[in-house]
Structure formats: C-alpha cells, structure tokens
Structure 1
Amino acid sequence: MDTQNLLNHLVTAVLVIDSGLKPCFANAAAEQLLGTGSHRLSEQALTDIFQLQEVAATILADAVRQGLGLTVNTASLVTFDGQHHTVDLTLIPLENEPGLSLLELRQVDQQRRIHQQLTQDAQQQAAQFLVRNLAHEIKNPLGGLRGAAQLLARELDDESLKEFTTLIIEQADRMRALVDKLLGPQKPTAHLPHNIHEVAEKVIKLVELSTPTNIRVIRDYDPSIPDIDLDADQMQQALLNIVQNAVQALEDGGGTITVRTRTSHQVTIGAQRHKLVLMLSVIDDGPGIPPELMDTLFYPMVTGREQGSGLGLSIAHNIARLHGGRIDCDSSPGHTQFVLTLPIKTGK
C-alpha cells in the first residue's frame, strides 16, 4: 500500500517537522489548510507560513527537540494569506527518527460551523414563518386601504383633496414593497452555469461607483474555479448586500475590502457532504461586529446601524440557502469575514 497516497486522502493536515519547525513532509490536507504547495512548505519554517495564537513557536520547537508530545485544542491558526482557522493540534515524536515529530492539525471550524448552521437554519425558519404570517396580516389591510383611497379619489372633484388620496396610495405601495423585500425570494429559480468572478466583478464595479476614496477593494481570485450553477441576479444581490455591509463598516475610518475566491474539498453543508465547494469571502479590516449581534446577525430587521433596515444579510442568507449553500461570519476588531459557501458540481 502506498503510504503517501493514503496520507493524501486524509482530511486531517499531517506534517513531519524538525526542531527548526521546517516541514520535510506535508500531505494534501496540509497544503490546502496552509494555502501553499509541499515544495514551498519544505523551503520555509512553519513560523513563516502561519501563526498559532495559543502556542509560542519556541514551545513547539523545544517539544520537537526533546521528543515530547503536545496537544492543544481549539487553537487559533492564522495563515499569512489572512485565513483564520480553528484547529486541534497534536505533536507526536517519531520513533527511530530523533529530531523529527509528526504534527497533526485537525480543523474544527467545520464541525463548529455545521452546528452553527443547523441552529441558525432552525432559528431562521422560525423567523421567516413569523415574518410570512405578519406580511399576510399587513398586506390584507393595505390592499383594502389602497382600494378605498382609489374609490375616494374618483368621487372627489377638488383636485387639491386628491393629493391626500394619492399620498395614501403611494404610502400603501411603499409598505407593500417593504413587506415583499422583507420576505425576499422564497422558491428556487432556474440555475444556469455562471462564472462567479463575472458576478463578483459586476458587484465590485457597482460598489466602486459610490465608494469613498478612503476605501480600497482588493480582488483575490482563483481563476481555476469552474462555472457554478446559480441564479446570477440573486447571487449578485446576495454578494452586493455583503459587500455594502463591509463598505458601511469602513465609512468612518476607511480601510480595505478583499473579495477572495477559493475552493475547498469535502465540506458539509447542512446534512449533505460535497466533494468540492466554492468559498467566496468578503473581508474587511473595520471595527468588527458587536458580539451581541453575532447570534442574530442573519435575522430580518436586525442591524447595528441607526439607518440600517436589517434586511441585507437576511436576504443574502436566504439566497445562499436556495442555492444549497450557507453563509458564515467571523468577526473581531480589525477583521470581519463573511464566507459564502456554494457546492460545485464535479460531474461524478
């Protein structure tokens, strides 16, 4: 049996490192986690590739040198391309190989996100159920109010009085449009193959027309990503809502927004596991989202801004759900990242 081939089929990142923290072996999962190839990994120390906030590099190096084991749960790992991960770290000294240790980095982001998604979906469905019932109760009297105003307008001879009936009709239409927007799309539409970067470019160009000069948008695309089956208009709306959210977060102090595309393998969305998915990230270096809003971030009418409607992220979440995907958010001061995950058909 080919041991290297076997290791490359593991979803756990496995590296063999020396006391200088330089890898002499890395499996495919390690390359994907650290965002670099095995050749480049073998030329650099781990400290040049990522940072572990809970474990000092000297502690890791001393453990390898002394042949000691080490275990750290839920460590924060930040790669130098800006990716944030939560991992369980295990260091095991290799028998008959003095000065070398096996380093396992098992991502726990996915388990945490699966739990968050299941909880979020249940709460979102309850909120949507409430909103739909509320919308039904609002639309019925609005329709009656609008119809009565139209009938009254026909009976009035004084044009100055008709201004008031026109105002009633306009406000009733505005309220109905708000309710429709609150509901968002409810049913899947026709999905056709589209290049996700074309969708992203339309959104960025639209945003850049009104973006202040102190905000810069960076494109970080993976051009190898294949076309994805989606509703281009809906996906453009979802991405626009997320990017506008980032712009609003940076309006006061300025900063940078990065739109990044990557792929990931063997990702579970809901109860279904996908061989290949798109990870579309919108990252800003703004002040971050208040912790008290994180659990209800995708609820309708939830917003941290005085002038916000609280509908943008709720609609984006619903569009992702209609595409069989999900949206995740990680936020801390100086780093907020929304990740839209969408399945990619592999043809197998």
Structure 2
Amino acid sequence: MQIFKETVNRKNLSVLNEMPIAIVYKPGAPATHHFNDEIECKSTCLNCVNPRCMYFDESDIECSEVKNFTNDRRLSVCPVDAITWNADKDSPIFDTNKCICCGICMRRCPVGAIYYDEEVKVCTTPSDNTTRVKASTYSIQFQKEQLETLINKPRGGVLIKESDELFDKIYAKLLSIKNIYHNPIGRNLLISLGCKSAMRRIGDVYTRMDAVYSASDNSFGAVEIEFGRDTLDAARGILDDIAVLHTRYGIDKNDNQALVVCLQLPNARQGYWQVIKDVKTVENIHISTITIGAMMILNWNGCLLIPDDVTYYIDYDNMSLRPAIEWQLDGKVNLSDKTLGILEPMK
C-alpha cells in the first residue's frame, strides 16, 4: 500500500459500524447508504488514510499494451489541482475557483460523501453508522479492508444533473484554462470512466501521442486531446499515433480504437469531419470522437467508456454525439441543441 503525505501525523480516522448493501447518489446532497432492513443513512467522510478522492493507484496510469511508454507519473485525481488536505479535519477541501466540476473525486469517494451543491463539498458531519477511532496499524488495515469491500457495492443515482447553465459555468473555466491541464483532464476522465490511461510527460517530444488508454474490455487506443479550435491537427495527429504505435510497438492498426478528445466538436464546415470519414472509407479505421463535456455527463451518471467502432464514431454524415450519450444514459440529456459544441457542432 502506497502511503501519501496525508497520512503523516494522522491521529484519527473513521470506520463504518455496518456495511451497506448499496449506495445511492442524489444531486445536491451526500449519497445515502442502504441496508437490508430498509434503513438508510447519509454518508460522511471516513478520513481515508489513502484518500481515493485525491490519488490514483499506480496501476491506473499504466497501459500494459505499450511497453516502455514514458508516461507522466502524477497520481493526482484532480486534474486542475483543486483538492488539498485539511490536516485539522482529516478531510479534503476544494478550491472552488479552480474546480471544474468534472466529478472524478465524487465518483471515486468510497462512501459518496463528496457532492455538488452549487460547488463541490464534502460531508464531515458524523453519522450514526460511523465510529471515530485512533489511527493504529490495526485501524488503518481495518479501514482499508472496509473500503475495498465498499467500492464494489452496487451504486445508483446521479452525481450531478447536467444543464446549460452548469456547462456555461464549467466551460467558461475550460476555455481559459492553461494548456498544462488539458492532458490531465482528458486522462483523468478516462480513468474515471473505467479505463487505465497513461499520458506523455510535458516536454517529451519523442512520445508523439497525448495519451493511450485500455478499457475494461481490454480494448486499447491512442488518444489525442485538443482544446483548441484547430481540430484538423487532432485528426492528423491521431493518424500519426496509429502509425507510430504500429511501427514502434507492433500494435496493428485494426487493434487500435483511436480516440480524439476535444473540448468542443468542430464546426460542420471544418475539414476534421471529412478526414475522419476518409480514413474510415480508405483504411476501415473508425476514429472515435468525444468531448470533455460528454465525458463529464457520462461520469456524473456512473457510466463507462465504450471503445468500439460504433458508439462514439461520428463523421461528416453524422456529427452528433447525442444519440450515443442518451443510449448510455437510457434517457434524454438535459442539454439544449448545439450547446457549447458538447453534443453537436455549434454551427
């Protein structure tokens, strides 16, 4: 078990008195824990020794398909460094000026204590189902075993409900955010959506692609992450990535579920769409496209990334992600047509 700096001088932590059978998320409030006798209680922070809301495991940032990939080793869950540790309360605190409401920390919280109510918050109010204990070798191990059981419990509900107004707020930050955060946002969302993902180090000119990922079904692909307007470069870049992975790492082009992650879908007249279609026509390679906003919606709803040839494939003849996202949600997306280029091009 990797020990992080938040464990230094730790005096106390919390454990559960009884293990719930399920956890249900509710927008605007901490999740509720449900028990066999139909009793439920509100979740609260357990002051985790190794807080999953703050750190990935080292295995999360590795892709075994690409040997010797010189990936960035940062394990921070928050891609924009908005989470720090409050040593007095033994719980995370959130910088609302930095936070982009991606929901990654919320989804990773084992108990569901982190929630969004106009801003991201954490419930620290003691629960009837928790006991505060002194930190010791035994209590740390006991908490670890409880959390390993807890993260596999069934979960339902929605973390955050999407809206035009919320995305206006989120995209105002994303459109002006420093480019050092672009790749971490894409990589960390991929991990939250059930993938393992490795991203290249800043300044590494030898590694051509922004990232690689492997999904829960063992499918694999190169990733280009583009926050700018010139997504044609992303289309060209992903082709280069496919070629490099084939020649340098022996990965056949047909085994590469390549993915372009963009902030906004390109406008209808941009060359990106025709390039994507031409690549499918000539090479039978389906390059998937998904936006940061669409990934956030999937993340808020507890979905996984589905990296096949169909789900996120859009091109000149069909530029809308809405059917794919609504299929995964099994319901309508509460987002107006063409909003910020998240599900359809803005024009």
Does TM, normalized by the shorter one, top 0.5?
Answer: no
- State the structure with bigger RCO (CA 8 A, min sep 6), 1 or 2: 2
Larger strand proportion, structure 1 or 2? 1
Answer with 1 or 2: which has the greater Rg.
1
Give the TM-score range, shorter chain. under 0.3
Larger helix proportion, structure 1 or 2? 1
